[in-house]
C-alpha cells in the first residue's frame, strides 16, 4: 500500500509539472501567434479578446492531453509515433477552438482571428515538441563543439542503410557510444551514392570499401546490414577484413529478441555465424510457453552443448521445475553456476546415467517429468568406430530405457534428438541414432505419450566439432587439418537448433520425424580458409592447410532425409515433417533384437557382432542379424516368430517366445 501511494504521489507530481509547463507554453504560443498574425501591431480589441479567452483555450488543450495520455509518456524514450500522437492531440484542440469560435459568432458580434488560432496551434505543437525533446535537442546543439574538443576520435564507416544504421549514426553524433567515434559516411549497395542520412553522406558501394578506408583514414568498419545470400555476405566480410580497419557487426533483431544482446546497438566482432551466412529463424514463443509453462521438464545430457542450451531456453518459458540430468557432475555444476546464479531458478540438478534403469525409474517416480528432451548421447564419429559397445550401451540402450520409463510414467511428450548421420549411416554413431529413431517410432503406437524425433545436422561450436578444432589449430599456428577437399556439412547455430527443437515439440504428433531446415551445405575447406582469413592470417604463408584423409565412419556429404522419405511442410517454414512409406518395426520385435544385440557382447566375437548388428538393425535387416546371432534360419518365418507363431523354444518346461526369453533375462520388463 505504501509503495502504491508513493507511486501515485510521484505520478501526480509529474502531471503537475507538465501541466504547469503547458500553462506557460500555450499562452506564450498564442500571444506570439497574434504578433505574427498582426505583423507586430496587435489592435487593443484583439489583445483584450485574446487575454479574456486564453485561460479556456489552455484548458481545452490540457484536457485533451490528459485524455490522450500525453502526460503519462516518458519523452526521454519517445519515438516518431509519440510525435504523431502529440500532433493529433494539439490538432484536435486547435480544431475544437476554431469550431467553437465560429459557433459563438451568432451570439457575439466579434470572434477571434481564425488565422491566429491556427498559427497558435502550430506554435503550441512546435514549442511542446521542443520542450519534450529538450535533452536531445541540447545534446545535438552542443555535439559539434564537444567533438571538436575531443582529440583523435576513431573514424567510422557504416556498411548498410537501415533503421539500425540510422539509430547508430544518431548515437555516434550524440556521443552516446562507449567508444569515441566520428562517423565519416555510409556504404550502400542500392545506388544511394551522393544522398545523405542525418547529414552524413553515402559514399559508395561495398566494392569501394578498401579505397574509402584508405582515403578517409577509416579506423572502424561497422556492418549494420548483411546480405541474405551466403556468398555475398562472405564477400562483404572478406572485403572489410582485407582493409586495415577494425571490423564490427551490429546484431540482427533475432539475436536481440532471443536476449543475446540487451542493446540492439551493441557492437560485436565478426563471428562464425557471419562466416556461415545463415539467417537465424524465429519461433512462436507463445506456443512454446503453452507446452512448457508450469510443467516439470526433464533434459537428459544437460551438460552437453545441445542439452545445456535446452536448459537455458526452457527456463525462459517458466517451467514449474527443470530437471537437468547428466552423468557429468562437473558439467552440471558449471551449468548451474551459469543459469542459476541467484539460486532462484526452478532448476534441479540430477547426477544420473541414462543406462541405469533403477535410477531413471526413481527420477520419474520422485519428480514426475511431463515433458522430456532426450539429448544424452555419444556423438564423436571416429571414436565410436572403436567402441561400438558404448554406442550400444548409451545411444541405443539409454534411449530405450529413458523412453520406456517416460512411457511407464505417462509423460506428455518425449522428444528424441537425432542427427543427419542417421540417414544412410556409414558410422556406428549414425547407425545407433537411426536405431533410436526406429525405436521411438515403434514406441509411439503405445500409450498416450507423444514420442517425436527431431533430426538436424551439425551445430556451430559444439565441443569437439570441426569449428572449435579449427579455431584451436589456428591459435597454435597450424596446420589446420581438413579431411578431404570436397567434404561438406550442414551447419546451424546451437541456439537456433534448440529453439526449433522446442518449436517442433509444440505441433508434432506421436511417431513423427521432424527435420530442421539446414540451408545449403558448407564446404569444410572453404570454412577453414575463411576462419584463417578471419584472424587476419594468410593461407599457406601464415597457416598451412593439411589434408589428412577421411576418418573412419565419415562421409563426404551428409543427407538430411532418406530418398523415400517425403518432405511435408509444417506450421513453421524451417521445420519439415518426414513421411516414410516403409512400415515401422513393432515395439516387441525391436526391443527383443536390441536386447539380443546387447547379450551378444558376451560371445567371443561379441564386439564384431555388435558392430555388424547395429548396421543390420538400422537397415531393417532383422533376419540377417538373428541368423548370425542365433544360428536359426528365420528368413522364411521371422514374421510368424515375431507374432508368437509356430517356431518356439522350450525352456524349463515352459514354451517361451525366443524374443521374450531374452527380455526375461534382461533388467527390462517384458513389454505388453
Q: Which residues contact 94 (CB under 8 A, 6 or more apart)?
A: 117, 118, 120, 121, 124
Rounded CA-CA distance 224/113 in Å is 51
Cell 576418418 appears where? 551
Rounded CA-CA distance 475/543 in Å is 10
Q: Mean pLDDT across the stretch 588-607? A: 85
* pLDDT tens digits along 486-516: 998 888 888 889 999 999 999 988 889 999 9
Residue 651's pLDDT is 32
Whether residue 669 has pLDDT greater than 50 = no
Residue 324's pLDDT is 96
Dihedral sign from CA coordinates of 364, 370, 376, 377: positive
Residue 109's pLDDT is 60
Percent of the chain past pLDDT 90, that is, above it, reads 29
Q: Mean pLDDT across the stretch 447-466? A: 84
Indicate the pairing of strand 649-651 with strand 654-656: antiparallel
Residue 635's pLDDT is 40
Whether residue 5 has pLDDT greater than 60 = no
Q: How many CB atoms lie within 10 A of CB 261?
A: 16
* pLDDT tens digits along 147-173: 555 567 788 888 877 777 777 777 666
Q: Mean pLDDT across the stretch 571-584? A: 85
Cα–Cα distance list, 72 to 16, 82, 129, 173, 289 (Å): 11, 11, 15, 29, 32
Q: Would you list the DSSP string of 228-286?
A: SSHHHHHHHHHHHHTSSSEEEEPPPHHHHHTTS-SSTT--EE--HHHHHT-PPP---HH
Question: 601 falls in which pLDDT band (50, 70, 90)?
Answer: confident
Rounded CA-CA distance 553/562 in Å is 18
What are the cell numbers at 491? Answer: 551447419
Rounded CA-CA distance 329/423 in Å is 32
What are the cell numbers at 254? Answer: 533475432
Residue 311's pLDDT is 95
Residue 255's pLDDT is 54
Cell 484536435 appears where? 92
Q: Would you list the DSSP string of 375-424?
A: ------HHHHHT-HHHIIIIIIIHHHHHHHHHHHTT-SEEEEEEEGGGSS
Structural domains in the chain plus CATH codes: 2-132 (no CATH), 148-270 (3.40.50.720), 285-579 (3.40.50.720), 587-665 (no CATH)
Q: Which residues contact 311 (CB under 8 A, 6 or more apart)?
A: 299, 302, 322, 324, 335, 339, 347
Does residue 648 contact residue 658 with C-beta atoms inside 8 Å? yes
Q: Which residues contact 44 (CB under 8 A, 6 or more apart)?
A: none
Does residue 50 contact residue 33 with C-beta atoms inside 8 Å? no
Question: 666 falls in which pLDDT band (50, 70, 90)?
Answer: very low
Amino acid at each position: 500500500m505504501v509503495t502504491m501511494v508513493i507511486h501515485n504521489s510521484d505520478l501526480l507530481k509529474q502531471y503537475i509539472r507538465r501541466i504547469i509547463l503547458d500553462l506557460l507554453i500555450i499562452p506564450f504560443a498564442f500571444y506570439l501567434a497574434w504578433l505574427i498574425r498582426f505583423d507586430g501591431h496587435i489592435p487593443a480589441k484583439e489583445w483584450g479578446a485574446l487575454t479574456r479567452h486564453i485561460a479556456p483555450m489552455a484548458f481545452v488543450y490540457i484536457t485533451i492531453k490528459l485524455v490522450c495520455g500525453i502526460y503519462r509518456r516518458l519523452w526521454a524514450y519517445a519515438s516518431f509515433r509519440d510525435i504523431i500522437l502529440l500532433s493529433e492531440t494539439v490538432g484536435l484542440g486547435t480544431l475544437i477552438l476554431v469550431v467553437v469560435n465560429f459557433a459563438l459568432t451568432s451570439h457575439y458580434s466579434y470572434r477571434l482571428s481564425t488565422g491566429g488560432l491556427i498559427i497558435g496551434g502550430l506554435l503550441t505543437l512546435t514549442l511542446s515538441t521542443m520542450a519534450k525533446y529538450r535533452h536531445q535537442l541540447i545534446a545535438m546543439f552542443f555535439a559539434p563543439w564537444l567533438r571538436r574538443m575531443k582529440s583523435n576520435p576513431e573514424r567510422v564507416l557504416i556498411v548498410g542503410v537501415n533503421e539500425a544504421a540510422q539509430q547508430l549514426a544518431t548515437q555516434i553524433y550524440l556521443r552516446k557510444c562507449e567508444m569515441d567515434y566520428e562517423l565519416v559516411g555510409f556504404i550502400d549497395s542500392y545506388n544511394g551514392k551522393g544522398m545523405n542520412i542525418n547529414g552524413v553522406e553515402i559514399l559508395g558501394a561495398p566494392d569501394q570499401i578498401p579505397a574509402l578506408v584508405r582515403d578517409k583514414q577509416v579506423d572502424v568498419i561497422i556492418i549494420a546490414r548483411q546480405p541474405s545470400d551466403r556468398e555475398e555476405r562472405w564477400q562483404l566480410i572478406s572485403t572489410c577484413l582485407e582493409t586495415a580497419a577494425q571490423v564490427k557487426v551490429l546484431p540482427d533483431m533475432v539475436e536481440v529478441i532471443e536476449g543475446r544482446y540487451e542493446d540492439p546497438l551493441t557492437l560485436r566482432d565478426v563471428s562464425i555465424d557471419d562466416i556461415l551466412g545463415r539467417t537465424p529463424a524465429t519461433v512462436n514463443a507463445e506456443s512454446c510457453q503453452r507446452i512448457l509453462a508450469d510443467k516439470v521438464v526433464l533434459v537428459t545430457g544437460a551438460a552437453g552443448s545441445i542439452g545445456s542450451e535446452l536448459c537455458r531456453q526452457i527456463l525462459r518459458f517458466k517451467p514449474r521445475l527443470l530437471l537437468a540430468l547428466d552423468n557429468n557432475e562437473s558439467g552440471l555444476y558449471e551449468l548451474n553456476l551459469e543459469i542459476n546464479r541467484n539460486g532462484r531458478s526452478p532448476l534441479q540438478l540430477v547426477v544420473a546415467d541414462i543406462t541405469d534403469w533403477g535410477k531413471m525409474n526413481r527420477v520419474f517416480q520422485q519428480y514426475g517429468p511431463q515433458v522430456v528432451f532426450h539429448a544424452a548421447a555419444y556423438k564423436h564419429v571416429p571414436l565410436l568406430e572403436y567402441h561400438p559397445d558404448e554406442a550400444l550401451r548409451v545411444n541405443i540402450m539409454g534411449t530405450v530405457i529413458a523412453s520406456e520409463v517416460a512411457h511407464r510414467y505417462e509423460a506428455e511428450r518425449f522428444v528424441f534428438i537425432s542427427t543427419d548421420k542417421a540417414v544412410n549411416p556409414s558410422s556406428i554413431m549414425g547407425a545407433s541414432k537411426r536405431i533410436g529413431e526406429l525405436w521411438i517410432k515403434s514406441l509411439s503406437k503405445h500409450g498416450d505419450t507423444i514420442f517425436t524425433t527431431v533430426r538436424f545436422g551439425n551445430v556451430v561450436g559444439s565441443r569437439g566439432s570441426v569449428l572449435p578444432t579449427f579455431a584451436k589449430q589456428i591459435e597454435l599456428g597450424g596446420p589446420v587439418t581438413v579431411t578431404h577437399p570436397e567434404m561438406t556439412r550442414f551447419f546451424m547455430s546451437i541456439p537456433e537448433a534448440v529453439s526449433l527443437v522446442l518449436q517442433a515439440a509444440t505441433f508434432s504428433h506421436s511417431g513423427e520425424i521432424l527435420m530442421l531446415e539446414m540451408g545449403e551445405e558448407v564446404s569444410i575447406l572453404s570454412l577453414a580458409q575463411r576462419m584463417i582469413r578471419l584472424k587476419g592470417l594468410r593461407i599457406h604463408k601464415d597457416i598451412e592447410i593439411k589434408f589428412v584423409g577421411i576418418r573412419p565412419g565419415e562421409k563426404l556429404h551428409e543427407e538430411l532425409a532418406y530418398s523415400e522419405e517425403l518432405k511435408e511442410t509444417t506450421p513453421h517454414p524451417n521445420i519439415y515433417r518426414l513421411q516414410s512409406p516403409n512400415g515401422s518395426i513393432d515395439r516387441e520385435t525391436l526391443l527383443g533384437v536390441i536386447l539380443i544385440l546387447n547379450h551378444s557382447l558376451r560371445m567371443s566375437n561379441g564386439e564384431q557382432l555388435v558392430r555388424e548388428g547395429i548396421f543390420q538393425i538400422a537397415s531393417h535387416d532383422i533376419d540377417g542379424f538373428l541368423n548370425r546371432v542365433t544360428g536359426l534360419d528365420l528368413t522364411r518365418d521371422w514374421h510368424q516368430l515375431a507374432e508368437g507363431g509356430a517356431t518356439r523354444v522350450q525352456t524349463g518346461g515352459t514354451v517361451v517366445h525366443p524374443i521374450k526369453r531374452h527380455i526375461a533375462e534382461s533388467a527390462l520388463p517384458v513389454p505388453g
